[in-house]
A = this chain, B = another copy of it.
């Protein structure tokens, strides 16, 4: 039986459990990593509903995947379930939070305070989930000095200092496409190895850094591709609706 989780959960900051670090630590497949936050969210919801135990099947249902996948995914974290019973919600939540690095804060800098950047700065969803917006930077002289969502916009040149001062861990690129690569280089040079790119541009980073992208235009084009196929298939086939263009979206690269 797993050690009761309420022993750990309280620990907000202290590296009290850091000795739990010596687990197997196998390599976790990328596809699995991308689903962990999904399970985390589900577990959080279940905990809020006072559910203390959950089966892979129930978890799967909530997360919108199949049960075998859940079991395999969770098995990469360790053997945290109990055969015949299921998973202890609180304990699994603790293990997963630790694995996802949610036991600490990861301050964020937003680069590019235009429409999107400002919206992101105002978007509350970051801070209360462990990703406080710690700094805003831009190069536009008309924007530098302004206050957006309680933060003064600084010049991009000050970024290295701010990274050091605020312990910034994540950089969000919300600039136009043309400057995205340049900004990424500056972020990496300043020691920010985690980057989330909103600019519609291909950005590359050295292997020690991680980059994720969010590209609205791209998502819309993918949708219209399928929509397009649908319509023209209908034209070609007459009214054959069973010829499905199986698109199980989800995922992003």
| Contact of B102 with A204 in the complex, beta carbons under 8 Å | no
| Contact of A217 with B119 in the complex, beta carbons under 8 Å | no
Residue A214, interface by CB 8 Å: yes
| Contact of A170 with B204 in the complex, beta carbons under 8 Å | no
| Contact of A115 with B106 in the complex, beta carbons under 8 Å | no
| Contact of A221 with B181 in the complex, beta carbons under 8 Å | no
Closest Cβ of chain B: how far from A250's Cβ, in Å?
6
Cα–Cα, bound, A50→B10 (Å):
61
Residue A58, interface by CB 8 Å: no
Cα–Cα, bound, A23→B248 (Å):
24
| Contact of B204 with A101 in the complex, beta carbons under 8 Å | no
A66: B residues at CB distance < 8 A: none
A71: B residues at CB distance < 8 A: none
New A-B contacts (4) at CB < 8 Å, excluding given A37-B217, A102-B224:
A41-B217, A202-B253, A204-B250, A214-B219
| Contact of A129 with B251 in the complex, beta carbons under 8 Å | no
| Contact of A170 with B224 in the complex, beta carbons under 8 Å | yes
**14 pairs, CB–CB < 8 Å, chain A vs chain B:** A21-B236, A33-B222, A33-B225, A40-B221, A64-B203, A64-B204, A102-B224, A106-B227, A118-B119, A125-B216, A194-B226, A206-B249, A210-B223, A219-B252
In chain A between 88 and 112, which residues have their CB closer than 8 angstroms to a CB of chain B?
Answer: 99-102, 106, 108
| Contact of B211 with A249 in the complex, beta carbons under 8 Å | yes
Given A214-B219, A219-B212, A245-B193: A36 and B225 within 8 A (CB)?
yes
| Contact of B248 with A206 in the complex, beta carbons under 8 Å | yes
| Contact of B228 with A101 in the complex, beta carbons under 8 Å | yes
- The residue from B206, B225, B241 contacting A99, defined by CB atoms under 8 A apart: B225
A185: B residues at CB distance < 8 A: 250
What 1/0 mask marks residues of chain A from 184 to 201 whose CB sits below 8 Å from any chain B CB?
010011010111100010
